[in-house]
Amino acid sequence: MNNGEQRRLNGEAEEDEDEDDANNGGLAAWERAYADERSWESLQEDESGLLQPIDNQSLKHAQYRRRLRAASTARIQKGLIRYLYIVIDLSKAAAEMDFRPSRMGVVAKHVEAFIIEFFYQNPLSQVGLVTIKDGVAHCLTDLGGSPNSHVKALMGKLECSGDSSLQNALDLVHGYLEQIPSYGHREVLILYSALSTCDPGDIMETIQKCKKSKIRCSVIGLSAEIFICKHLCQETGGLYYIALDEPHLKELILEHAPPPPAIAEFAIANLIKMGFPQRAAEGSVAICSCHKEAKVGGGYTCPRCKARVCDLPTECRICGLTLISSPHLARSYHHLFPIVPFDEVSPSLLIDQQNKFPRACFGCQQSLLNPGNKPSLRVACPKCKQHFCLDCDIYIHESLHNCPGCESARHSKIPNANKG
């Protein structure tokens, strides 16, 4: 290879390197690695000023306990039958990449998780999806109790373009929620990415219509605070927050899964007719009233009109009877009789009286001691005084809804009473 060919190859290699630098914002390879991983966000400063890794488990537990204390400060009546519309802003602002990979992608992922969690905590409720695109609000799914249908419809319509119109979205959901019976709690959760709203009329009149119809509107912003969103939440009794990053956005969205306090006018007793349908035989053939097509096996039969439905809970399309199962009704009562928050055991108390406290979690039987037999964070039930780890604390309050220590003590008293 002569000198001319060598210089030509070196020149091509330099051009390729320049193109790579331009595509990556002029960052070197080691700089790109740190920029992608954002490793500095995983550090925190301790009391002595030294840097140490963030304990994600402790942070998660602290956030959970703050949410638990806020929910248990007072015994207030809550709405168990909720009708919620999730409004997703798919304007051009949703394509911004300050959330990775984009605002639209992050919102879609967390809305999917929220829908599943919402139906787990509110089995008697219904959800609908609305999108804002090109200044127009589109109803993606009607109110329903099937999480799979909502998630499938959302993932198939992830395109963003045009401006956002908050008034058009409020007018659309107001028309649907105005028809909800008086015992239903009307709610709107808006995930807003834009910094403005392009409306065809006076949005203040629309806000007053929502307030008059007792529609509780909450907004989670992905950009800066906007006056009209804050005014909407103040007028209708909703919540307005700005997401700082993706974990914060997830936390804000999941805060809307538990039932909110009931509005005063709705806090009166109502008797609601409900049906408990039987599951159809596996080999039976019937026309499903949900999809208007013949299906073989499965499904449920309405006890009033004998129509076939696919999933529970739902409302019979023929006679309008609310159809549920007994586990759905039982899960709804967890919000009426919540388990009391556990007390955090003071670290100084653990050090002084280490031998008097249990060394293993009462729930999972895992050790509560760190390496070197140093006590780790733990909580104790105020009734039975049993100690639990942080993971069991979250599992007991969010999934089990019963204290294993209290249940064990209650069952141990029953045989003794029979003997006496």
Q: Can you read off the two tokens belonging to residue 285?
A: 């053939």
Encode pLDDT of 254-268 as tens digits.
989 988 876 655 556
- In CATH, which superfamily holds the domain spanning 78-266? von Willebrand factor, type A domain (3.40.50.410)
Other beta carbons within 10 angstroms of residue 314's beta carbon come to 21
Give 289's pLDDT tier (boundaries 50, 70, 90). Answer: confident
Average pLDDT over residues 194-216: 95
pLDDT of residue 9: 47
Q: Please give the residue that has the higher pLDDT: either 171 or 294.
A: 171
pLDDT of residue 329: 81
Other beta carbons within 10 angstroms of residue 105's beta carbon come to 15
- Write down the residue that tokens 């019937």 correspond to: 286
Would you say residue 48 has pLDDT above 60? Answer: yes
Encode pLDDT of 65-121 as tens digits.
666 665 554 555 567 789 999 999 999 999 998 888 899 999 999 999 999 999 988
- Residues 241, 234: contact at Cβ < 8 Å? no
Identify the DSSP state of 367.
Answer: B
- Sign, CA dihedral 140-223-109-114, equals negative
- H or E stretch including 249? helix 246-254
What mean pLDDT is reported for the chain?
81
Domain boundaries, the chain: 78-266, 278-336, 343-412
The yes or no reply on domain 343-412 and CATH 3.30.40.10 is yes
Q: Is 69 helix (H, G, I), strand (E, B) or coil?
A: helix
Encode pLDDT of 341-377 as tens digits.
888 888 777 666 555 788 899 999 998 887 767 777 8
Q: Can you read off the two tokens belonging to residue 16?
A: 């390729």
- H or E stretch including 166? helix 166-177
- Residues 229, 221: contact at Cβ < 8 Å? yes
Other beta carbons within 10 angstroms of residue 57's beta carbon come to 14
Q: State CA 31 to chain mean position distance.
A: 35
Q: Please give the residue that has the higher pLDDT: either 136 or 368.
A: 136
